[in-house]
Amino acid sequence: MNNVKYNKQTLWQTFMKVDKEMVKLSIVYSVMAVAYCLRKTFGWGKIKIYRYAVDMNRYITSVGKQDRDIPALNDELKTEAGIDCTKIFEGYKPYMLKKVSLQKSSEAEAMFEKIKYILPMVIYPLYSREGWKQKRMNRLGQALKETLIDILESDEIDNIKRTMYEECGLKFYDDGTVDPN
């Protein structure tokens, strides 16, 4: 058995580093999932999806600078667009119907919590720029739920990237940037 000892500061720094990476990855996955749903569910083309990605970059920057916070975005979406992002995944737990290791299940749950938290930020541009209300938002919410579950449980992110490139000519990178080619 390995008898390595860590102090609290080292453990905290490691936790914060992992947490920061999970937030970054959850944003990337969520933006790609929304773009994929806009293509598959709503038939959006390259220009509109790219415009969404550019808007998303602006909202990520705004939230990062603390100009707007995510709970405020969720409240506005709830009152103005008729969608409560906290209820989209209500009752779902990663790998409910699959047998996986405790580590894999715990990682998926942690990532899922990050995704649920940032979800208002990634769909807000559809309300603010496109004027989407309850009917479209609920349709998007259902499609997003299915897509994000596929990403987390079936590792579909590479297939989504490939589909978006083949169908729209948009290349999504792991750092969250999009190239319109």
The one-character DSSP state at 124 is: H
DSSP state at residue 68: S
Report phi then psi at 45, rounded to 5: -100, -175
Q: Which of 11-25, 27-41, 72-86, 161-175 has the lowest mean pLDDT?
A: 11-25
Put simply, whether the predicted model's pTM sits higher than 0.75 gets the answer yes
Residue 17, amino acid: K
CA distance 64 to 70: 10
User: Which of 86-90, 103-107, 140-144, 151-155 shows the lowest per-residue confidence on average (mean pLDDT)?
Assistant: 103-107
In one-letter notation, the amino acid at residue 108 is: A
Q: How far is CA 6 from CA 3, 9, 10, 18, 90, in A?
A: 10, 8, 6, 16, 37
Per the CB < 8 A criterion, the answer to whether 168 and 45 are in contact is: yes
